[in-house]
Structure 1
Amino acid sequence: MYHPARSLRFSWEEGFDIEVVVGCQDVLIRANRAGLVSVARHLLALAQDEVPVDSHVHLPAGQEIESDIDVVIERAAD
């Protein structure tokens, strides 16, 4: 959810598991059901009309996701 005074708030489904693998020509995002629901909520939060351009969610490697790199998903202008 987005609130101007508190910025973006993201919630995680219990038991989420998300893995990101970067290949030579692709990026694989593999997740269990809870992980997919969590990512979907993050995307929907960013898509709210009130969310400013350049707002983003930062998924650090080794914390929220299993990966060698961080993943940043950013809101662009329409």
Structure 2
Amino acid sequence: MSDQPDNLVLLYLRRLDERTGRMEEDMRDLKGRVTLLEQRVAAGFTHLEGTIAHQTARLDRLENRLERVERRLDLLPPAAE
């Protein structure tokens, strides 16, 4: 009987972990899409706006790389798979 609640808690924690992992992936996808939109909109405007959109894209890529490095060094919890 006492094993059942522990298993339920673990089950719900695993589900939350999976959902969090999917949300992280979705956020990365959305950031990439917004950056692409910024670049396309900026292409119709001045060079300065295009440069800003380009810098945003570079920062997004650097953020993803830094997160991967932090995970490898165990500075962040592992991503849900």
Settle same-fold status: TM greater than 0.5: no
Give the alignment's TM-score, normalised by structure 1: 0.33
Greater RCO (CA < 8 Å, at least 6 residues apart): 2
The answer to which structure has the higher strand fraction is 1
For the pair shown, which has the larger CA radius of gyration, 1 or 2?
A: 2
The answer to which structure has the higher helix fraction is 2
Give the alignment's TM-score, normalised by structure 2: 0.32
